[in-house]
Amino acid sequence: MSAGLIGIASTWWFGLLIGVIIGVVGLLQANSKIMWKGSLGAIIRTLGIAIGIGIAGILVGKFIISNINANWNLPAELTDRKSFLIAGTMHNFSYLGGIVGLIFGIIYQLKIKKASAQQWL
């Protein structure tokens, strides 16, 4: 339970930042119906990509990173090195997933904007 709370406490700001950016791009739409459709689609894409890349981070952490016998500067009181490295890798990959997801979400919203603009021509 405490690991989950630590995860939330260390990442909430990133989701807020992504949400603000998606919201601002959504304001570029022609009307509120298209804005809601584009923003919701962008959020779903961003979440899906972030979760997918986060899962990839778990796998990389479990099968690659935690098996590297490097002399990393880890906490002295660490009792489960493997789990710590897996969680850290997932955490880092999730940030990458958020950025990649945001890019795809913005592209999606811009495509919606372009399609709706061509409808009016």
Mean pLDDT for the stretch of residues 63-88: 92
Confirm whether pTM is higher than 0.75: yes
What's the confidence (pLDDT) of residue 7? 77
Contacts of 17 (CB under 8 A, 6+ apart): none
Neighbour tally for 70: CB within 10 Å: 7
Per-residue model confidence as pLDDT tens digits over 2-44? 777 887 888 899 999 999 999 999 999 999 999 999 999 999 9
Distance, CA of 50 to CA of 109 (rounded, Å): 17
Distance, CA of 31 to CA of 52 (rounded, Å): 31
